[in-house]
Amino acid sequence: MPVRKRVGKRLRARKSGSARMIALALDMEVPLNEAIDAMHALRFIGYGLAQHGDEAEGRAVAAIAWTACRRLEALQDIWRRMWKAGRAKS
C-alpha cells in the first residue's frame, strides 16, 4: 500500500539529543561571554572608583563584580564541558 504525504508539510529529520544540546550550547555562548565581559568591565569601574573617588563604594562595586565574574566563569566551565560532551556523542 503506497504511503501518502501530507500536502503542505515538509518532512524533516528530527534532531538527536546531542544535536539539540549542541544547538542550545551555541545559542548560549554569546550571551554568556557578553555577561562575563560586562562583569569584568564593572569590576574595573569599581577599581577606578576606589582609586579616584569614594574608596568604600569602589571596593563594594569591585567585590560584587568579582563575585559575579567567578560565578559566570564557573558557568562557562560547565558550558565548555557540556559542549565537549555533546560533540563527543555526535
Residues 90 and 86: their CA atoms lie apart, in Å, by 7
Residues 89 and 18: their CA atoms lie apart, in Å, by 6
C-alpha R_g of the chain: 22
For the segment 9-61, what is each residue's pLDDT rounded down to a tens digit? 665 555 566 777 778 878 888 999 999 999 999 999 999 999 998 899 999 99
pLDDT band with cut points at 50, 70 and 90 for residue 85: confident
Report how far apart, in Å, the C-alpha atoms of 29 and of each of 13, 65, 73, 89 are. Answer: 25, 20, 12, 19
